[in-house]
Structure formats: structure tokens, C-alpha cells
Amino acid sequence: MNTTQPLAIFGGTFDPIHIGHLRAAWEASEALGADVYLVPAKVPPHRPQPVASAEQRAAMLRVALAGQDRLQLDLRELHREGPSYTFDTLASLRAEIGADRPLVVLIGADAFAGLSSWHRWRELFALAHMCVLTRPAQIPAMPEELAAEVAPRLVERADRLRAQPSGSVLNMVVTSLGISSTRIRALLAVGAEPRWLVPDALLDDPALLQPYRGTDGNPSGT
């Protein structure tokens, strides 16, 4: 086995999973030569609770990922009690893969801008690289402490992430798909069909997107 093949994770609420997530993860996987685990959060610490349950979100992911094995589903956060901290997820993966294999967090630029509010955020760089996916969202400026942490870690090329197990930050441009779960929930809330925004398989089984129909489309607490 090529031990420098990176393992990448792509976390999120996936409420629901959509083509924007899938395409970004796919392109990053190809560019890094990495296996990618999609890791749904059970209790997202940084945002309102999802509309669909953990089980319902996992069921949608399972259907969305069928037929390929580049992107895999990893349910460790659903099996863990309490808030789904990325630090805990990376620590458990690092224990599994050993100290040397590159571990990469794939993260949208919007989510990355909030990194310095995450649990034990500075220690994330000791566990993994960050691959920041640019997407057509409004990108908030990075707070000063995050910008200072990131500057010396920036690398220009994907193959640099293979040279060491953790600690670098790579900006990666992925195909711009202006799709969000928020928009899909809003469409379903008014009875519209999000065709071509989500994998067809999610529409083939009416039960899968049912949690969003007849709601106001908002996660609880907003």
C-alpha cells in the first residue's frame, strides 16, 4: 500500500446532502489522490440543530454515495455522545491510521473562516492538513488570530500534503456550484422539487426528503 496516500474527511450536517457537497469532495479527492470520508455531524456545535434526524441524514448519504467508492460514509460522529467536535474525530482517525499517513480536512472557505471558534482549533493543525475549498458563498474575512496561524502553513500544491502528515493549509478551487442545503430545504418547504440539485436517487424514494416537506425549512433555533 502507498502509505503516503492521504485520507481526507469532509464533515457537515448534510441536511440534506447535495450535488455541491458531492462534486467538491469528488474533485478534492481526485486532486489529492485521497480517499474521502463524508462524516455527518450528530450534534453540530457551531450551528442550529438539523431538521432531519441523524439517521435520516445518514440514510440520504448512503443513497447518494451508492455506486462509487472514492467517497465513503463514516458514522463515527453519530456513534459518539455529545457535540461532534472535529478535534475528537481527527484524534480517533489519527489513532487508527498511525502517525505518518497524511490526514486532510476538506472544508468550505465559509466554514474555515470560523475555524478559530472551534474546540481546540489550534491543535487541529497537529492532527491534519486543511484543504480549503472555495465556493460561491460570501466568504467572511478570517479573524486576525486565524490568519496569523494560517500564513506560515500555506502551501501552493496538492502534492505538498503528501510530504508530511499534518500542519499545512492548501486553498483549492473547486467547480462553483451555488447550491446549499438551506435552499433545498426552502424548495421542499414550499412543495417544489430540488431536481438536479440533489442526486436523483434522493428523489426516487419519497421517504428520504420527507423530513423537509411541510416544515418552514429552518433548523430549530433559527
- Determine if 211 is a binding residue for ligand ATP (CB under 6 A): no
Q: Which of 111, 115, 132, 208 binds ligand ATP (CB under 6 A)?
A: 111
- Determine if 75 is a binding residue for ligand ATP (CB under 6 A): no
- Report 139-178 residues binding ligand ATP (CB under 6 A): 174, 177
Residue 171: which of 106, 90, 120, 103 has the closest Cα?
Answer: 106
On the question of a cis peptide bond just before residue 83, with omega within 30 degrees of 0, the verdict is no
- Determine if 118 is a binding residue for ligand ATP (CB under 6 A): no
d(CA 182, CA 191): 15
- Determine if 217 is a binding residue for ligand ATP (CB under 6 A): no
> Residues 73-109, buried b or exposed e (16+ Cβ, 10 A)?
bbbbbbeeeeebbbbbbbbebbeeeeeebbbbbbbbb
Q: How many CB atoms lie within 10 A of CB 182?
A: 13
- Determine if 29 is a binding residue for ligand ATP (CB under 6 A): no
d(CA 47, CA 173): 25
Nearer to ligand ATP, 38 or 161 (CB): 38
Q: Which of 182, 210, 218, 222 binds ligand ATP (CB under 6 A)?
A: 182
Question: CB of residue 154 vs ligand ATP: minimum separation in angstroms?
Answer: 19
- Determine if 71 is a binding residue for ligand ATP (CB under 6 A): no
Nearer to ligand ATP, 18 or 162 (CB): 18
CB distance 71 to 25 below 8 Å: yes
Return all residues near 129 (Cβ < 8 A) that are at least 6 apart: 6, 102, 103, 104, 105, 161, 166, 167, 168, 169, 170
Question: CB of residue 46 vs ligand ATP: minimum separation in angstroms?
Answer: 9
- Determine if 89 is a binding residue for ligand ATP (CB under 6 A): no
Q: Which of 107, 113, 127, 188 binds ligand ATP (CB under 6 A)?
A: 107
- Determine if 42 is a binding residue for ligand ATP (CB under 6 A): no
CB distance 115 to 121 below 8 Å: yes
Give the binding site for ligand ATP (CB under 6 A): 12-15, 20-21, 24, 107-108, 110-111, 133, 135, 174, 177, 179-182
